[in-house]
């Protein structure tokens, strides 16, 4: 066989493999969507006050768990739904690990924590469209029990990008926001002035103490958000969290340690570190 026809065969073989991979991926996405549509949110029975906690979880770390626990305690939540995102619109280069791996790692990170659950509501869209938080929140909210209450939990760095979100001014009214301070976002995200500067135009924030909140070791500040249409929504800030952990740093550490997740044990649940090692992620 000539070199040219050998190359042609190699190319055809690769194209066939790529097509099969794309086809399998598409099937996997459809399966996840179908699972979600069939009600496979793993919400603990009887949960009424629920926070949606979306993110890349690439990988999930102790920072995520600490934020979820603080929010649960401070807001008296019954459950926090960890929702790995398919395609984050503000991260055009996407995640490093695939969706299935991020879901598997998140499942391991929250294992044994009955109030923490997985949601596949933000699974990749088969059309390739990015996942918009507003649409996801509305979908999750529609599935709650009639007396269920949905909140949207995030770190200050995410909140500070709110103005760039799809239909940003509607998001805090779809599910009241709980914003946890984060050291990497400097002083921002802890003071009301910083919060106001990140709000979409037309929204106004004013302090509104919430006497229904439980006693908690975590400080919480309660506000009320108003829009031009006269709607209002609660808004909460958890200003006392200073957790110096980021997924970006963890990935860099793993790469620098030639793939060993050992260096990250301090910031990662052991089962997540082991998953990363055994699947060769982030090398
Ligand atoms: P990356 O470094 O890859 O951007 P990340 O550590 O910020 O990742 P994500 O999975 O995108 O993690 O975060 C999900 C949510 O958790 C976001 O709202 C983010 O702000 C919040 N979050 C993550 N780490 C912390 C932390 N240390 N303190 C407070 N919030 C955090």
Taken in order of first residue, the domains within the chain and their CATH numbers are 49-238 (3.40.50.620), 247-279 (no CATH)
Q: Is the CB of 80 under 6 A from ligand 1?
A: no
Q: How far apart are CA 276 and CA 61, in angstroms?
A: 12
Tell me the pLDDT tens digit for each residue of 171-206. 999 999 999 998 865 444 556 667 788 899 999 999
Task: Kindly indicate the confidence band of residue 37, based on its pLDDT and cuts at 50, 70 and 90.
Answer: low
Residue 13 has pLDDT above 60, yes or no: no
Q: How far apart are CA 155 and CA 183, in angstroms?
A: 10
pTM of model > 0.95: no
Q: Is the CB of 131 under 6 A from ligand 1?
A: no
Q: How far apart are CA 167 and CA 186, in angstroms?
A: 26
Using an 8 Å Cβ cutoff, are 118 and 81 in contact? yes
Q: Higher confidence at residue 17 or residue 262?
A: 262
Residue 54 Cα to ligand 1 midpoint, Å, equals: 9
Using an 8 Å Cβ cutoff, are 181 and 190 in contact? yes
Q: How far apart are CA 261 and CA 188, in angstroms?
A: 31
Tell me the pLDDT tens digit for each residue of 80-139. 999 999 988 888 788 999 999 999 999 999 999 999 999 999 999 888 889 999 999 999
Residues 6 or more apart whose CB falls under 8 angstroms from that of 100 comprise 28
Using an 8 Å Cβ cutoff, are 254 and 248 in contact? no
Which of 8-12, 35-39, 169-173, 238-242 is most confident?
169-173
Q: Is the CB of 154 under 6 A from ligand 1?
A: yes
Residue 64 Cα to ligand 1 midpoint, Å, equals: 7
Tell me the pLDDT tens digit for each residue of 128-174. 889 999 999 999 999 998 899 999 999 999 999 999 999 999 999 99
């Amino acid at each position: 066989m000539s070199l040219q026809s050998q190359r042609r065969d190699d190319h055809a073989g690769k194209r066939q493999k790529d097509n099969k991979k794309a086809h399998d991926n598409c099937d996997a996405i459809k399966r996840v969507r179908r699972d979600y549509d069939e009600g496979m949110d793993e919400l603990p029975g009887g949960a009424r006050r629920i926070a949606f906690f979306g993110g890349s979880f690439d990988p999930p770390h102790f920072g995520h768990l600490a934020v979820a626990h603080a929010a649960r305690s401070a807001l008296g939540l019954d459950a926090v739904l960890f929702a790995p995102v398919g395609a984050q619109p503000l991260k055009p280069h996407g995640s490093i690990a695939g969706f299935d791996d991020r879901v598997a790692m998140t499942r391991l990170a929250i294992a044994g924590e009955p109030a923490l659950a997985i949601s596949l509501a933000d699974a990749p869209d088969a059309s390739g469209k990015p996942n918009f938080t507003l649409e996801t929140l509305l979908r999750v909210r529609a599935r709650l029990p009639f007396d269920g209450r949905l909140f949207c939990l995030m770190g200050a760095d995410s909140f500070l990008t709110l103005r760039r979100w799809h239909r940003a001014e509607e998001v805090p009214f779809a599910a009241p926001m709980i914003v946890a301070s984060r050291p990497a976002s400097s002083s921002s995200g802890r003071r009301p002035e910083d919060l106001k500067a990140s709000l979409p135009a037309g929204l106004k924030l004013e302090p509104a103490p919430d006497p229904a909140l439980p006693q908690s070791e975590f400080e919480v500040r309660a506000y009320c958000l108003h829009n031009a249409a006269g709607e209002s929504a609660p808004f909460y800030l958890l200003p006392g969290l200073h957790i110096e952990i980021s997924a970006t740093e963890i990935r860099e550490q793993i790469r620098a340690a030639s793939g060993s997740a050992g260096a990250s044990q301090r910031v990662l649940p052991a089962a997540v570190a082991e998953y990363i090692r055994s699947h060769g992620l982030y090398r």
